[in-house]
Structure 1
């Protein structure tokens, strides 16, 4: 009888310890700040879906940043490009990750991380046709997403060159992915697309397009041209998150993790030249 009683008490004790441990883990998880990252999942190789899972350079960089964090719990959502920053405004999302470049309008409203990659502008056009300057695009047709850096570069060129035939800019809906726009070059609907070199080279190779990708010879924009950032709300919480992310970006650059991810997704080192 005593042996049965002791055995029963022992089992109760083990069960209690198990429940305490589970309760402790649950409590630890519930105290973490939930961070939702918004992306359009259609900007390969920076962000896309593979077998239904989030993938890409930006995604894996963020996973590395928040790996083993005791403070934050990370998740990702897919949304239309033009809804990403409005979602940050409403605090539905705490980080915007979608190959974001710097521009003055965004800087007035949002906080930027330290850069996580550096590319250059490139022009994708029909095979055998090469454009390496904006001047060569005079009178040519293109397609852009309104509000993107690429749209602004072309709009500024038109304003600065009233004596030349304007670049004919068609504004696509935010749900029109880069692949679709590149297909429009092949079928003759447009003449070119201005985009970053990493994405342009990747999609032409990955999708097997018979197109030419040419890097711009001239610099456009500012010294931040070609740099990629993560964006946060310009709030106290946003500043805390920015500080945490920047600290981890520095560590990942120093230990070679960023360069490794760059090689994996971009086929080259696009991070070692970052300041």
Structure 2
């Protein structure tokens, strides 16, 4: 009987210690961790610097958004591009930041922030060749990530022009970096790359390629094309975060922070035309 009482008392004390430890851990952290998923391979939007720290336009914008927050503690995690949105689905991540553009399929599943930058579509070619319309790409080859806006735009052109030689789209996995596609272009394994003007110009210059980056003159897609967003889950937490981020984005656009970061990473103002009022 005494032994039962001793064991029972020990159990109560043990549970009490565990409870106090849990409370202490919660009180110690205080803030809610918000994990941002990024592939860290889409410069100048998101990449790692020489000290292996997350940086880039998207990263610094979020750091400015959450600066001095008394509720949220921001963390960044690098993962394959293909794993970002499934991670949002599973609630492993709370924000997706990776130069995400709008498309209807994503809009069915995710919440979009207010746009944080705007960039033209562009066609990247070796110096001496320049294309500024999709018609000129007929019969030529490229590489693109399946499901991306860039791939879908080329696929739509093929569907609408069955009488012409299709644009040859070779699909690559999400963990195939943009630098790999630039190398394939340099080695003439493909004829062009269809991407956004900001990333293309930055990457070509950063890696020392003599490429032509020509803005697309065609009016393709919708008014949302070229706009960049953060993505959130369609959950109560996602709605709260989206509201918080959008409020701060308006403040950062008004006080000039977005313009400053745009010039720092893009070399120009790619935000003042955004209608985030």
Superposition TM-score, scaled by structure 2 size: 0.89
Alignment root-mean-square deviation, CA: 1.3
Corresponding residue of 1:176: 176
Corresponding residue of 1:142: 142
The reply on whether 1:161 has 2:161 as its aligned counterpart is: yes
What is the deviation of 1:176? 1.0
Corresponding residue of 2:6: none
The reply on whether 1:64 has 2:64 as its aligned counterpart is: yes
Corresponding residue of 2:8: none
Corresponding residue of 2:47: 48
Is the partner of 1:105 in helix, strand or coil?
Answer: helix
Change (3 A) 1:67 1:219: same
In 1: Cα distance, 2:28 partner to 2:176 partner: 38
What is the deviation of 1:26? 7.0
List per-residue Cα deviations over 1:99-134 (Å, max 9, x = no partner): 000000000000000000011100001111001011
List per-residue Cα deviations over 1:126-169 (Å, max 9, x = no partner): 11100101111000000001111111111111111101000001
Q: Structure 1 regions of 5+ residues with no counterpart? A: 1-23
The reply on whether 1:190 has 2:187 as its aligned counterpart is: no
In 1: Cα distance, 2:130 partner to 2:244 partner: 43
Corresponding residue of 1:206: 206
Corresponding residue of 2:237: 237
In 2: Cα distance, 1:61 partner to 1:122 partner: 24
In 1: Cα distance, 2:128 partner to 2:62 partner: 38
Corresponding residue of 1:262: 262
Is the partner of 1:115 in helix, strand or coil?
Answer: coil
Superposition TM-score, scaled by structure 1 size: 0.90
Corresponding residue of 1:121: 121
- What stretches of structure 1 move > 3 A for 4+ residues in a row? 24-29
In 2: Cα distance, 1:80 partner to 1:236 partner: 26
What is the deviation of 1:236? 1.0
Q: Structure 2 regions of 5+ residues with no counterpart? A: 1-22
What is the deviation of 1:211? 1.0
Corresponding residue of 2:96: 96
